[in-house]
Amino acid sequence: MSRKPAPPRPNKAKPTWLDQLAGDLVDAGSREHYVDAALYDYEYRRRRADVTFYRELARQRLGEGSGAILELGAGTGRVTIPLARDGHTVVAVDQSPTMLERLRRRVAAERAPVGRRVTAVAGDLRSFRLPRQQRFPLVIAAFNVLEHLYTRGEVHACLRQVVAHLAPGGAFAFDVQLPDLGWLLRDPAKRWARTRFTDPTTGRAMLYSTNHDYDPVSQIVLIRLYYEPADGVGPGHVVKLSQRKFFPAELEALVAHAGLRVAARYGDFSFAPLDGSSESQVLVCERAPGDLNHRRE
């Protein structure tokens, strides 16, 4: 899920070239990972637990098929299409043109009844608007989508959009990573997660590795993904990925500030409780009673 550059933040001090550089890196990291949609699908082809979770949640909240779902950061449809196969109608929002193009191609390859249930929409997490003021009984944002909201203002803008698109009694479900301080504070000069793979487009053997820098003040991690030919012949390239990390109490406060309440919170995609060993925070939220902010909008 890519996004538009954030508007300048008010600051009494004049931004320096270092501030501008950091902002440019964060913005690049919100887009570059989603340019090669074929490689993206290849890298996450075995990620299935979250798909199972959102399918089961949709079944619990909406029944067997025929429910309406709004999906934010839908990407190439890894979650979208299974939900449509289950009988749900899905409005799939994403900012990346390449991801939306691949989603539309995948939808076109499905059986006609499934394809008709998916509507792909270009939109920004912070400002998307759907026609006819559509409301949904279920809104989802799977696979760390909200980690592309880098400031409190951006988070609030997105969550208020969610509230505006929730039907009465509806739910907003999303997942983000539980911050791992050991991982965040790794030596940024070393390479990690070295993996050999075959590029799905070129068929060439490649080596993958990664490292990152973490700013504990902004809570933003700037990740570098290295792709290099396994035979050492020819240049490699580096893809930037930027993510905002959310701690559990902070996340609950952000949700409450936007007029939502946490109805359920899990530590994995099997509905297990959140604890210190969890890798993910999975939240199911509902509109808070007496949401005065929403009444004023």
Encode pLDDT of 80-134 as tens digits: 999 999 999 999 999 999 999 999 999 999 999 999 999 999 999 999 989 777 9
| Residues of the domain holding 231 | 17-41+180-244
Can you tell me the mean pLDDT for 231-253? 97
Note the pLDDT of residue 1: 53
- Residue 66 within a domain: yes
- Residue 3 within a domain: no
Note the pLDDT of residue 12: 53
Note the pLDDT of residue 292: 52
Sheet containing strand 220-229, strands side by side: 192-198, 205-215, 220-229, 237-244
- Residue 10 within a domain: no
Same domain? 173 vs 58 = yes
User: What DSSP string describes the chain?
Assistant: ---PPPPPPP-SSPPPHHHHHHHHHHHHHHHGGGS-HHHHHHHTTT--HHHHHHHHHHHHHH-SS--EEEEES-TTSTTHHHHHHTT-EEEEEES-HHHHHHHHHHHHTS-HHHHTTEEEEE--TTT---GGG--EEEEEE-SSGGGG--SHHHHHHHHHHHHHTEEEEEEEEEEEEPP-HHHHTS-TTS-EEEEEEE-TTT--EEEEEEEEEEETTTTEEEEEEEEEETT--S--EEEEEEEE---HHHHHHHHHHTTEEEEEEESSTT-PPP-TT-SEEEEEEEEPTT-HHHHH-
Note the pLDDT of residue 8: 43
- Residue 11 within a domain: no
Same domain? 77 vs 161 = yes
Note the pLDDT of residue 18: 54
Confidence of residue 297 (pLDDT cuts 50, 70, 90): very low
On the question of pLDDT at 294 being above 60, the answer is no
Same domain? 252 vs 239 = no
Same domain? 210 vs 74 = no
- Among the candidates 244, 263, 287, a domain finishes at 244
On the question of pLDDT at 262 being above 90, the answer is yes
Confidence of residue 195 (pLDDT cuts 50, 70, 90): very high
Same domain? 166 vs 28 = no
Show the tokens assigned to 95: 């900012």
* Better pLDDT: 65 or 149: 149
Confidence of residue 296 (pLDDT cuts 50, 70, 90): very low
* Rounded Cα gap, residues 238 and 36, in angstroms: 12
List beta partners, residue 140: 71, 173
Q: What's the CATH code of the domain at 93?
A: 3.40.50.150
- Among the candidates 244, 262, 283, a domain finishes at 244
Cα–Cα distances (Å) from 71 to 121, 162, 212, 223, 230, in that order, read: 10, 10, 29, 25, 37
Can you tell me the mean pLDDT for 32-53? 97
Note the pLDDT of residue 6: 47
On the question of pLDDT at 3 being above 90, the answer is no
* Rounded Cα gap, residues 199 and 124, in angstroms: 30
User: What DSSP string describes 205-265?
Assistant: EEEEEEEEEEETTTTEEEEEEEEEETT--S--EEEEEEEE---HHHHHHHHHHTTEEEEEE
Note the pLDDT of residue 159: 98
Same domain? 86 vs 153 = yes
- Among the candidates 229, 244, 259, a domain finishes at 244
Same domain? 57 vs 186 = no
* Rounded Cα gap, residues 82 and 263, in angstroms: 25
Mean pLDDT of all residues belonging to the chain: 92
Show the tokens assigned to 283: 């939240």
Note the pLDDT of residue 259: 97
Q: How many residues does the chain have?
A: 297
Can you tell me the mean pLDDT for 47-53? 98
pLDDT in tens, 161-191: 999 999 999 999 999 999 999 999 999 999 9
Note the pLDDT of residue 41: 97
Note the pLDDT of residue 4: 47
Sheet containing strand 68-72, strands side by side: 118-122, 89-94, 68-72, 136-141, 166-177, 280-287, 260-266
Instruction: State how many domains the chain has.
Output: 2
Same domain? 213 vs 266 = no
* Rounded Cα gap, residues 290 and 297, in angstroms: 14
Sign, CA torsion 61/65/69/73: positive
Same domain? 88 vs 166 = yes
Percent of the chain exceeding pLDDT 70 equals 92
